[in-house]
Amino acid sequence: MEIEEKVQLLNNLNTKKLIQDIQEQENKLETLLLAEAKFRSENVGYLASYGDDCTQVKAILADLALEPPVEADGKKATVAKVESWLRQQRSTKPTLVEAIWYQNQVTFQCENNRVAIEMAKKRMESLKGLLGLRTAQIEFLRE
C-alpha cells in the first residue's frame, strides 16, 4: 500500500472526531452524575428504599401514631386498629398524602437519573471500543 493511500485511509478514520465525541460523552456523564448527587442531596428526606417509606413519611406517621384513635367507649384502640387507622391516613391525611406523592416523584426521578447515567456509560464504552478498533487499524497501517 502506498503512502498516499495510507494517509487517505488515516484521514477517513476520523479519529479526531471520535476523540471529541468521547470527551463530550465524558462531560455529559460528569454532568449527569453531578445532577444526580445534587438532586439526592436536595431531596434526602424523601429518598425511600424499595418497599419502605422515606424519613419524611415515617416522621408524619410517627406523629400520627402519638395520637391514635380512641374507641367509642373511651378505651385505647388495639394495635391492629391503630395500624389499620394509620394505613387509612395514607390516603386521607393531606400532609401524608402529599409527602407520599413527593416521595414517589423523587423515587421516579432517581430511577430516571440512574437510567440516563447507565446509558451515558454504555455510549462512552462503545466510543472507547471504537477508538480501540481505530487504534488497531492505525497500527496495521503503520506496517
Determine the pLDDT at residue 55. Answer: 96
**Total residues belonging to the chain:** 143
31-47: average pLDDT: 97
| Of 102 and 6, the one with more pLDDT | 102
Averaged pLDDT of the chain: 91
The pLDDT of residue 1 is above 70? no
DSSP 2-68: -HHHHHHHHHHH-HHHHHHHHHHHHHHHHHHHHHHHHHHHHTGGG---TTS--HHHHHHHHHHHTS-
Determine the pLDDT at residue 98. Answer: 98
Determine the pLDDT at residue 68. Answer: 78
Beta carbons of 131 and 18 less than 8 angstroms apart: yes
When pLDDT is cut at 50, 70 and 90, the band that residue 37 belongs to is very high
Beta carbons of 27 and 120 less than 8 angstroms apart: no
CA distance from start to end of the chain: 10
* Tens-place pLDDT, residues 67-114: 878 887 878 888 899 899 999 999 999 999 999 999 999 999 999 999
* Tens-place pLDDT, residues 117-134: 999 999 999 999 999 998
In 3D, which of 64, 67, 101 has the Cα closest to residue 86? 64
When pLDDT is cut at 50, 70 and 90, the band that residue 6 belongs to is confident
Domain that holds residue 48: 3-142
At position 92, the amino acid (one-letter code) is T
Q: What are the b/e assignments for 79-117, b being 16+ CB within 10 Å? A: eeeeeeebeebbeebeebeebbebbeebbeebeebeebb
The pLDDT of residue 3 is above 80? no
Domain count, the chain: 1
Grid coordinates in use for 47? 429518598
